[in-house]
Structure 1
């Protein structure tokens, strides 16, 4: 005796709409840009101080305007301070160099770390990678600007300790940056 063919299953229209919504969401997730970090390099201390002063003046002007909402002069000073701050920032940007670093996809970062294992002593001290060879490799791999590993090693060796530390931090911190959160939406 032959069995009847099983009934053909069809998805209810709601399931199809949910699948479409999921497919669209998944596509947006695939297209997310990786985090990036910029390091500003500027040797003009006077201009950096001018920006800091302009930021403080803008904060003061906003504070006074909020404390005196009916004072037209206070409102005008907010606009003037904001314009001065924008001008100072533009001048600082014009004389600054920027290095941009991108987060690496997780498998790429893990492979890079594996390529620079810590020495036995470094591992005993808790290091996950060789702190002598990994920083220039990461800086080069994460560099959006095309910095080579040799160039990264040169800057790390010739810059002051704080500047070299900030170069390393710019490349490393973006690898740790999360743009997602747990919790209720």
Structure 2
């Protein structure tokens, strides 16, 4: 004669473990995808003024940290930081910013599949069509709503270094990892 089996109740440790996992999974789902921001500023004088102010602030902080009791060095570091902040504000006001966000993996893979390399490009081990994919990616990754036609216009109309910076801003964010393997 066999005994009827009873449904096994989850122990409280199993329930709390499941709850902890559910909370962790929810946090993982809510993670924001990485973003890159490209500054576009044609005012060389403002860019140079900011670079100079940043270097001066770095030097002043170094001197202040090397001389902890020196009030003059501390005040000079504070003044240099303030000068850097003012130069940055002026640079920001004269700049346009383009923001790019990492695409979900399946979306990026679909985009790559839509722009396969030509035979000649494939022979050189390209993973996408260099003539069509860059504008498609820039557009797809744009947080600002840039169309593919607008991306193509900028990539073709800007100087090579500026166009490369635009491409890099959209491509590099696709390669950014914020996880690491480690020993637990």
TM superposition score category, shorter chain reference: over 0.9
* TM norm structure 2: 0.98
Provide the alpha-carbon RMSD of the alignment: 0.9
The answer to whether the aligner puts 1:88 opposite 2:87 as a matched pair is yes
Alignment: residue pair count: 184
1:1-185 alignment, distance < 5 Å: 3-184=2-183
Aligned counterparts of 2:134 and 2:153: Cα–Cα separation in 1: 11
Give the superposition deviation at 1:64. Answer: 1.1
Aligned counterparts of 1:16 and 1:25: Cα–Cα separation in 2: 14
Give the superposition deviation at 1:65. Answer: 1.0
Question: What are structure 2's unaligned runs of at least 5 residues?
Answer: none
* TM norm structure 1: 0.97
Give the superposition deviation at 1:68. Answer: 1.8
Question: What are structure 1's unaligned runs of at least 5 residues?
Answer: none
Deviating beyond 3 angstroms after TM superposition, the runs of 4 or more aligned structure 1 residues are: none
1:44-76 Cα distance to aligned partner (Å, 9 max, x none)? 110101111111111111111122222110010
SS at the partner of 1:144? coil
Give the superposition deviation at 1:8. Answer: 1.6
